[in-house]
Structure 1
Amino acid sequence: MNMYYFVSELKTFAEAQLYCRATYTDLATIENTDDLDTLQTDQVTYTGAWIGLMYPLTIWRWSYNEESLVFESWADGQPNNYGLGEECVAIFNNGAWFDLYCTDSRYFVCYDGENHAQSLFIDGWVKTFIINH
């Protein structure tokens, strides 16, 4: 199980990736429905938070381990523009993924890559509460 950290600071994908790598492990990797369920929350409303999924060359890959995408949770009609510059992915609080321009500024989700109880920390000034599944 992964421990996730929602960071309510606006950053580009590259800036968010640097932050997550310096502070935790990397941007979030979502490998299964348990991971996705943890990130679906009504506790915080956001319109897209970066996760670690990107389209660097010819296939969607995870930032942390560069593994190819297996589990997916695309919104209807997504990805819709990955060949024309929308090469990074954000998750919305309903769990749907959208491909977006990597230069957009968004909140983001980090994870620590360790095995823990499934948790999501909401980060503002400090971690304010935990959601366990």
Structure 2
Amino acid sequence: MEALLFITAAAGKINLCLRLSGVVSSPSSHEYRFVYEPMTWADAQSYCRRMNSDLATIATMEDMKTLNKMAVMNNMVYTSYRTKVWTGLYRDGWKWSAGSRSSFSYWKSTEPNNSNGNEKCVLATFDALGKWEDWRCDVEKAFICSSSESSSASSS
């Protein structure tokens, strides 16, 4: 985990800004990174892929617990982004962006509902322990990138 502290002073005021960023590995050997620049699902996918990863695959409850812990740490600073972030899951037989089918699910009780027939992408809602909601893919949100340890080791 990296922590950067910025201190600026102007007109008799001192401003402090703490920025946390980092990668956390879960027992399932995925590495996750929260990205706080709002993007559509497709733009977020492209961003992650440019960084040699993909939108997050959440394969187990252990993965979900890891992400919830990361969200709690990040929310101390990034409170305006604490609720809904893109995952890699999308409605095509419920596949992950990386290509595998989803066998694990963590839906809110009223989801997926495919409201108006156009909710094809999935958000994790960290005000509800990371439970999932289906949403329109063209909405700009923060997102989570993930990679396996083997793919990140080979890109080093």
Structure 2: 5+ residue stretches without partners: 1-28, 151-156
Supply the distance in 1 between the matched residues of 2:34 and 2:95 (Cα, whole angstroms).
21
Supply the distance in 1 between the matched residues of 2:131 and 2:112 (Cα, whole angstroms).
11
RMSD: 1.7
CA contact (8 A) 1:24 1:110 kept: no
CA contact (8 A) 1:28 1:111 kept: yes
* Equivalent in 67, 72, 87 of residue 42 of structure 1: 72
TM-score by length of 1: 0.79
Structure 1 partner of 2:90? 54
**Identical residues among aligned pairs (%):** 38
Supply the distance in 2 between the matched residues of 1:7 and 1:19 (Cα, whole angstroms).
10
RCO comparison, higher one (Cα < 8 Å, 6+): 1
Larger Rg: 2
1:18 equivalenced with 2:54 (yes/no):
no
Supply the distance in 2 between the matched residues of 1:2 and 1:83 (Cα, whole angstroms).
34
After TM superposition, the structure 1 = structure 2 runs for residues 87-126 of structure 1, keeping only pairs within 5 Å, are 87-93=120-126, 94-115=129-150
Q: Provide closer, same or farther for how the CA distance between residues 3 and 83 of structure 1 changes in structure 2, counting only shifts above 3 A.
A: same
Counting matched residue pairs gives 113
CA contact (8 A) 1:79 1:98 kept: yes
Equivalent position amino acid for 1:62 in 2: W
Supply the distance in 1 between the matched residues of 2:145 and 2:52 (Cα, whole angstroms).
7
Q: Which has the higher strand share?
A: 2
CA contact (8 A) 1:55 1:82 kept: no
